Structure 1
Amino acid sequence: MERWLALELASTIRHDGDGGVADDLATAHGTTRWIQAQAGLLAGRLPAVGLTADEGLRTEITELRRAVRTLFARAVSPAPPSSADAQRLMSADQALAHLNTVAAREPVVPQMDWPPGGPPTARLLSAENGPKVRLLAALARAAIDFLIGPQREQLRACTAPRCVRYFVKSHGRQEWCKPSCGNRARAARHYRRQHMATDRGSALS
């Protein structure tokens, strides 16, 4: 399954397996661990190895995540957003402004390479030396790339009980982010049907 940095950021809010919601970015240590786990997706944007989050960086990343999840909620509308977002969302205008502001914090210029016998390629050359600013800008630009790309049309909020994830629909009949959520949703439907049948039987007796 393809991974997107913006989706990974949004998915740091997740079901904790025990009926509640977990936040992988709740502490600076957890944020550092998440940054290191994204080294592959950050490759080419900046080296994540050795970057340690302090409380200030953690706060900035979680605020960027709030903007991203706000825009994800807009993307899946008129379907409901993730159930975790009821009290967390910004206005769409605030989210857009925040995302663009963070992306603009790292000045970059395009540079073209054209090796002999090969096709031309382009890369962005950064004029920013601060790794934390570069990280935040990279996350913001990844969200912009995601939201202007074709995958936005396939973005969904998982409707399984207790799940709070967004996912990119990979086939026409996909309803949930992963098989375990599908199993949980089917079990909940079965329980509701049985409960309704029991209630009807009690009413008739």
Structure 2
Amino acid sequence: MSDLVLYGHPFSSYTWKALMPLYANGTPFEFRNVDPAFPGNWDFCRKVHPAGKFPVLVDGEAIVIESTAIIEHLAAHYPGAAPLIPEDPGQAVVARMMDRVFDRYVMDVGQLVVNAYIADAANPNPDQVAAGKNGLLHSYAWLENWLAENELPAHVSLASCAAMPSLFYADWIERIPDTCPRVRDLRAELIALPPAARCIEDARPYRHYFPLGAPDRD
């Protein structure tokens, strides 16, 4: 049995972010589903994470929380064919910057809408929904401009592991507009990557969890 254990949920965007590098590099690990059906896994995450969240990576005696740190740990201790962190220091800065952009200004902004529907699916807070949807449109426009002068390679890396689940779910919340073709094309390229496709397929049985109602696509 592998020393690596990943606690997460198959439908969780941040779990996808941690799973993609493991799949891309063929790194042996055990997956433990943090689902109500497995209360012991929930209890473990509540014990080791300050907010009781997942994913959590256990590597022998080491416990690593937060998906970005998990990818950094895998890059340092389990390198493989997929270059998770660019070797060039300048490019590594850009990768880390874009990791934060996708987490903070796509994933977390879209979560505002999801949280509003979780709180009251019949009458979600309109201000919170508007803030999330408008925030996504603003982020899409920023990304479209950034992609006009920069490249985010469509292979598994810190930046793409943040981008794929962010854009996958964000497009369910607020469609990427026709004015952002580069962002739309990037999403399509990333979700076609084999590790991403595996995450998407494994999560398919849980689509009823999506509080806005999962669209009949992807």
By relative contact order (CA 8 Å, sep 6+), the higher-ranking structure is: 2
| Greater share of helix | 2
TM-score scaled by structure 2? 0.33
Q: Structure 1 length normalisation: TM-score? A: 0.34
Structure with greater Cα Rg: 1
